[in-house]
Amino acid sequence: MAEAAPACPYCAEQVSSAATTCKHCGSALDAGAPPRPPAGPNLLFVRVRPALVVPAIVVVLVVLAGGVMGTWMEPTRTISGDGFTDKDVTNIEGDIRARLSGRGSKVIDVQLIRESPTRLIGFANLRVFGIPIYKTCSVTIGRDRQSIWRCR
């Protein structure tokens, strides 16, 4: 009677009794040889180039520093808080609108943007007796946090 072909201990496929390696998985079949590691990349050990480690650390630190600075900054976009907040800008636009309205003039639009933390620039769009007039406006902040605005 023919002897049954042994099975590979690693993949359980039938192999020849004289074979030293499995033709299916490539593992060594003799008892003294250690099993062959599977082919392909080893995900446990990833090589990192040392030249990339330092720049990666710098990028992470810069991002973290930006996040910390963002939480410390006042709504005025300055660390000291000596500037216009968003609420200040809205109040000043309303003040300009109120002062320029009346006596036949109608304010269509007032817009201000930050040129710097302590200076705003923008425009006022009016209609005086139906005639469109555009005025450029500038606002600065004084030492006592009082805003000084002028539209020409």
- Distance between CA 15 and CA 26 in Å, rounded? 11
- At a CB cut-off of 8 Å and minimum separation 6, what does 88 contact? 147
Which residue, among 110, 65, 73, has the nearest Cα to 91 in the 3D structure?
Answer: 110
The full set of domain ranges for the chain reads: 1-39, 86-151
**pLDDT band at 17; cut points 50, 70, 90:** confident
The confidence band for 139, taking pLDDT boundaries of 50, 70 and 90, is very high
Closest CA to 93 of 59, 130, 58, 122: 122
**Is the CB of residue 149 less than 8 Å from the CB of residue 112?**
no
Gap between the Cα atoms of 54 and 77, Å rounded: 31
pTM of model > 0.95 = no
